[in-house]
Structure 1
Amino acid sequence: MPPIRFLRFAAQTTALLAALWLTSCQTPPAEPPPAPAEAAKRTGLYEWKGQGKSITSIKINVDEQIATLYNGDDEIGWTYVATGITSFPTPTGEFKIIEKVQDKVSNLYGKGYDANGKLINSDFKQGRDLLPPGGRFEAAKMTYFMRLTNDGVGMHIGPIPRPGRRASHGCIRLPSKFAGTIYQNVTLGTPVTIVGSGPDYATYLKQSNAKSKANAAKLAAAKKKAADAAQKAEEATALEPDDPNGPGPDVTTGATAPGTATITTLPAPASVTAPPVAPEEVRPAEPGLQ
């Protein structure tokens, strides 16, 4: 073999051996990490695994509408909740349970009935809506109430019509069969963290104050409208002073009510006495006719 071809062959062989050696020294590629296990699908409205344990903290996610219950770092239960709708949002932030009332009723929300007992407003709010004359207000129940703010936001029993959807006026509704378990296993001071899409507490208070002013204006307008309607009705039924259908004079004073006609009572006609009738003369019977 000529020297030049030999040298070229030797160089190619050396390069090939070097490549094989480098390939053998490389670390084999790592296996891809296993796919994360899918979270277990929630079934039912709640789950409790805290038998014999207290609830030391609660985390509420208003986007998921889930409250998670903890004992220390251990999750011991969860429940669907129903927090405030967009127009009545639940504030987010760090709170504590500052009051517990088992049989509380709302002093704002409830149902409005008319004087005949007919339901006229199933979402009645004091300070915003007006009851008709003789109507009554029936306060909404807030059983197992756990207060989070001084202006009334708290957790309590309430309907959860569509789990995963917001539904309340700002409070956190709990399933009726599970609210008592939470109530019995928390203490005053238990921290409650609310996260998700919603105003912080300072913004929430500004929004609430603005709504209160708007509600007061709405109620004042409703009262004025009702008063105007009552006055028009009274004017429409009032009688003219000379209307003969008005009431007569007051029998106790003889005075005539203002705005009513005076009715003159005519004297009864004098009685006519019939002339006396002469008694009929009775004659004795003639002899022989008896």
Structure 2
Amino acid sequence: MKGPLVLSLVFLALPALGGYVGVGTIFELGWDAWDVGMAGAGLALAEGPGTLFTNPAGIAWEEGIVLLGSSSSMYGAATSSSVAACLPGVGLGGIILDSGPIDEGLRYRVEGAAAALSIPLSEALALGGRARVLRHVLPQEETGWAVDLAVMLRGPLSLAALAEGLVSQAPVLEETWPPSLSLGVAMALPLPEPLTGALGVAVRGLGEEPLLSLGAQLWAKELGVRAGYCGEKFTCGLSVGWGSFRLSLATELHTTLPPSFKASFQVILR
């Protein structure tokens, strides 16, 4: 069962892992479980170390040093793990996707690394840049890279834009990494204390395969919930914070694949 399921993962969820990989596809696996819970609709709500993978412009407003570790089970067929560390204006992180042994020794393994810089142009506006390196380890070794640019405006109505692959080299020399654009908007909800919430909409992958994401989040002090929809999947997430720690859990319910689960643990050092 594992072989066909992994192949479903490869061709439906992460297209063309053995060759061309969309400039953002693999690195979406580095998302915090909190970001997964909103199905990518939180592009204009980016915060925390997971911002390195979602919208690097948000790193400009980080406070202190924030560490993130995430692990996921993907459709019961493969696993991914990621780490990220951010301090004001700087972010570093990495990700690994591994199918484990499939049939007759076949195995997929991909590794990625990202580094980002972000500067606040004002109290509400920030500009960020990011470099990413993607390395195919198995079934064959190939390396590619991309440079991205992001901008974010925070307020009652927040706006974000992320241009990926402005300059790039695909892991397979015969292929290209076409640039893509993602746009997001988020609106704060007028809720009574201690509740806070927001609605988010994002269109990701313009120039490749555009996807529309819709989502919402609700906080009651240190307890938060998120839900989202994108294409053929529904997502939901839960986050609990205490002191300098935050645990986030999320699941993806896909119409044609088994559920996928993700857990993230965040440590804030100030």
Q: Greater Rg, structure 1 or structure 2?
A: 1
Structure number with greater CO (CA < 8 Å, separation at least 6) is 2
Could you say which structure has the higher helix fraction?
1
Superposed pair shares fold, TM > 0.5: no
